[in-house]
Structure 1
Amino acid sequence: MSETQQDSRPHLRKTRVGVVVSDKMNKTIVVEHVARVPHPAFKKIVKKSKKYYVHDENGEAAVGDKVRIVETKPISKLKCWKLAEVLSH
């Protein structure tokens, strides 16, 4: 594939920004992502939260850190996200 075709492809990997709620496991953190979405019936904006198990190879993130995560191929039964960067401590 040439570089021009590769540059025109859409972003295939999803990214999320969230807060680390747990770092008790080895090489794994739990990140809570809060999305503001309209309610299906009433159209009022509500907060919807979801927790993701994220691979943190070097143990960079700590509880309370704001982080960016990127979707990857499955690493284990629950983990299919990896840590991209720590935005703030």
Structure 2
Amino acid sequence: MLKEVLREIKEVKVYSKPLIAHNLKISEEVLDDMLRQLIRMGYLSEDLGSPTCESECAGCHVSSCSITPIKMLSVTKKGEKLLSQ
């Protein structure tokens, strides 16, 4: 099942836990566990984006900015190798 999760992440255009869980007919909690395993095993890498604001609105004086980093997952070379087997 981990390989199916990896393949789904590789094929989706936009990472969406509800969509991936739905496509694989598993709960989001099970998917979260599988994603953690794939990251730990080196098949996926996780990028939380920049911790600083790099948007066009940078430099404003609004103290309650609602911009949050986007979490991105990508299949590593090790993951690509697994999927090609």
Structure 1 length normalisation: TM-score?
0.26
The answer to which structure has the higher strand fraction is: 1
Structure 2 length normalisation: TM-score?
0.27
**Which structure exhibits the higher relative contact order, with contacts defined as CA atoms closer than 8 Å and separated by 6 or more residues?**
2
